[in-house]
Amino acid sequence: MTVTGVRKDPAARTMTITAEFDAAPERVWRLWADPRQLERWWGPPERPATVVEHDLRPGGAVSYFVAGPDGERSPGWWRVHVVDAPRRLEFALGDPNIPALTVRVRLDARATGGTRMAIETTFPSSDAMVQLIGMGFEEGMSAAVGQMDAALVEGQR
């Protein structure tokens, strides 16, 4: 696995994941900029994405749908904010699988060759995420949740 770090900052509502690749930034950029390549990695094999529209310019949109295992289609979209090939990409993401987010992608050439990619995802929805995780909410919950964990797992089966 090429993931080199994951940082979750509840106060800033962000999750940042960094990865390193041997390929040059230009090559890594194409995985985002070429819709046919994007389709190959955006969704997992059991939920493949089909890109319908791919206008990678500030103000442009990328739209796609994800096909579920039983054939149902869920639409997803990007609203593109920043494009600076092959270094920076920022967009708002409405993805069928996760809440609305802002995504910031940074590609940096490594001194030793290859690329360091950082993806920062931010929950825009007010300060709910802060309150949800940053103010001890999760800790406050954990005792009660822990007790019922086994029952829940069983209930979901």
Partner 1 sequence: MVVDSAAGQQAVDRVFHALADATRRDILVRTLQAEHSVSALAHRYPMSFAAVQKHVAVLESAALVTKRRQGREQLVSGNVDTVRRAARLLDELEVVWRGRIGRLDAILAEGPTGATGATEAGGATGPTGEERA
For partner 1, the binding residues in 67-126 under the rule CB under 8 A are 68, 74-75, 83-86, 94, 96-101, 117, 119, 121, 123, 125-126
Choose between 19 and 92: whose C-beta lies nearer to partner 1.
Answer: 19
Closest distance between partner 1 and the C-beta of residue 41, in Å? 4
Closest distance between partner 1 and the C-beta of residue 111, in Å? 19
The b-or-e profile of 114-140 (16+ CB within 10 A means b, else e) is bbbbbebbbbeeeeebbeebeeeeeee
Residue of 118, 86, 103 whose CA lies nearest to 2: 118
Assign 154 to helix, strand or coil.
helix
Cβ atoms 46, 69 nearer than 8 A: yes
Contact status: 5 vs partner 1 (CB under 8 A): no
113 in the Ramachandran plot: left (φ > 0), alpha (ψ -120 to 50) or beta? left
- Candidates 12, 33, 52, 92: give the one binding partner 1 (CB under 8 A): 33
Number of shown-chain residues binding partner 1 (CB under 8 A): 72
Contact status: 152 vs partner 1 (CB under 8 A): yes
- CA torsion angle for 104, 39, 57, 98 (degrees, to 10)? -40
Contact status: 57 vs partner 1 (CB under 8 A): yes
Contact status: 157 vs partner 1 (CB under 8 A): no
- Candidates 59, 71, 110, 129: give the one binding partner 1 (CB under 8 A): 129
| Residues 6 or more apart whose Cβ sits within 8 Å of residue 72 | none
Choose between 46 and 111: whose C-beta lies nearer to partner 1.
Answer: 46
Contact status: 52 vs partner 1 (CB under 8 A): no
Contact status: 24 vs partner 1 (CB under 8 A): yes
Residue of 93, 66, 98, 90 whose CA lies nearest to 77: 93
